Structure 1
Amino acid sequence: MISAIIMASGFSKRMGQNKLLMKYNNKFLIEYTLNIISEGNFKQKILVTQYEEIKEFGEKLDYKVVSNIYPSKGQSESIKLGVKNCDYCEGYMFFVGDQPLINKKDIEKLIKVFKEDTDCIVIPKYKDKSGNPVIYPSTYKEQLLNLRGDKGGKSIIKSSHKIKYVNVRENTLFDVDNIDDFNNLLRRRAENEKGHNSN
C-alpha cells in the first residue's frame, strides 16, 4: 500500500502570512487537503508541520503528526521526516497543503497508475503543467532521505528514467502561492455560485 505524507511546514513568504490557515468557504486551506486524504485508503497518513493549529487538525483526523523543528532547512526536511516516520510501504504519496480544489478521483487515478507499475514515479499533469501530489516508489527511499534544501524531489525526477505522467483536472493542480492565487480561488467560487444560481 501507499502512505500519504502531507508537507505543511512552509513559511508562506510570498503570501506574507500562513496561507494554510487562510479561510476559504469557512474552512482553513489545509483542512481541504487533510479531509480529502482522510477519505483515501492509505497505509498511513502522516502530517509534517511546525504549526500547533495544524497539528491539532491532524490529530482530530487520526493522522500521525510529526513536528518539524527545522523548517528553515526547506521542503527536503518535511520529505525526510515523512519518510523516516513511515512504516514499510510500496510508495510515498507527497501532498502539499495549499491545493484546496484537489479532486478525490484524481488521487485515486494516480494511485491506480502507480499500482500498475510500482517502480515508476507517478506525476499528475494538466496540459503542460505538472505538480503535486507525486508518488515515489519505496525504492527511492535513500534518495529521498539524502535531499537537501528547498528543491523537493525535482532532482530525483530529473535523474529518473521511470516516470509516468497522469492527466488530471486543472483544479487538482491549482495551488495558492500568493495573494493573486487566493483572489483567483475566491473568484472561481463566485463564478461557480453564479452559475448554480442561474440554472
Structure 2
Amino acid sequence: MSAIIAPCALILAAGEGRRFQEAAGQGSDKLLARCRGLDGIERSVIEQVLRNLGEAVERRVLITRAHKTQVIEVAQAYGCEVVLLDSAGMGDSLRTGVEASANADGWLVCLGDMPFVTAGTFAKVYRSMVPERISIAHGPQGQGHPVGFGRAFREQLLQLRGDQGARRLFAEEHLHRVACDDLGIYRDVDRPDDLI
C-alpha cells in the first residue's frame, strides 16, 4: 500500500431520495434541488455541501450513482474524485469510499443532503481527527454530522455492507464529541419543506 496521506472527505451521494420524490415528483433529485445557502445565495443542495466543506479538506471523494450526471459534474467542478456505486446503502457507500481512498489517514464523512453545516464545523471536526478516535459534531441536540473516523477504523469500515451504517462503531471509549453551536449538523433534506 502507498504511503499514508492526510484524512480524506467522503461525500455520500448515492441515495435514492424516495421520500423527496414522493413529495416533489418521480425523478426529482434532492441533491439538485435549489436551496438558499448560509451566504444567502441559492445553489443546488450538493453544491452547498461542497462549498461549505471549504478548503478544510484537500482530498474529496464523492460516492454517487452513474446516472446522476449533474451531481457528478458539480462534484468534479469542486475538485472531487467521483466513485460510482449502484447501491443506496449507507454501509456500501462508506465501504466504497474507504476502498477508493485506502491510504488516507482517516475519513471525514459528509452527507450530500446536508447543505446547512457550516465551513467552521467541517474544519473543526476535521482538525480534531486522530487515528484512534471517532470525532463527531455535537451540539445542543446531541450528535450530528459530520463524523470523522481515524485510520484505526479502516478495517471495520471496510466490513460495512448494505444499509448498515457505522453507528455500531461508536463505542464510548473511541468517541470524541466536537462541541459546536451549529444547528446545521442536524438538518438533512428529506422532503421539499426541508429546503427552507
User: Counterpart of 1:165?
Assistant: 177
Taking structure 1 as the reference length, the TM-score comes to: 0.82
Instruction: Render the CA deviation track for 1:82-131: whole Å, top value 9, x for unaligned.
Output: 111115122100100111111111112112222xx431100112223312
Q: Structure 2: give runs of 5+ residues left out of the alignment.
A: 1-5, 22-27, 37-41
Identify which of 22, 25, 33 aligns with 1:22.
Answer: 33
Q: Percent same amino acid at aligned positions?
A: 26
1:65 matched to 2:76:
no
Partner of 1:127: 140
RMSD: 1.7
TM-score between both structures, scaled by the size of structure 2: 0.83
TM-superposed CA distance for 1:71, in Å, is 1.4
Q: Residue 132 of structure 2 aligns to which amino acid in structure 1?
A: D
Contact 1:38 1:61 in 2 (8 A): no
Q: 1:38 Cα shift?
A: 4.5
* Corresponding residue pairs, total: 177
* Contact map agreement 1:15 1:178 (CA 8 A) in 2: yes
* 1:80, distance to aligned residue in structure 2 (A): 1.2
Q: Is the CA contact (8 Å cut-off) linking 2:109 and 2:147 kept in structure 1?
A: yes
Larger radius of gyration: 1
| 1-structure distance, mates of 2:144, 2:184 | 11
Greater fraction of residues in helix: 1
Equivalent residue, structure 1, for 2:165: 152
Instruction: Give the structure, 1 or 2, with the largest relative contact order (CA under 8 Å, sep 6 or more).
Output: 2
CA contact (8 A) 2:17 2:190 kept: yes
Specify the SS of the correspondent of 2:57.
coil
Give the partner amino acid of 2:30.
Answer: K
Q: Aligned partners of 1:151, 1:126: CA distance in 2, in Å? A: 24
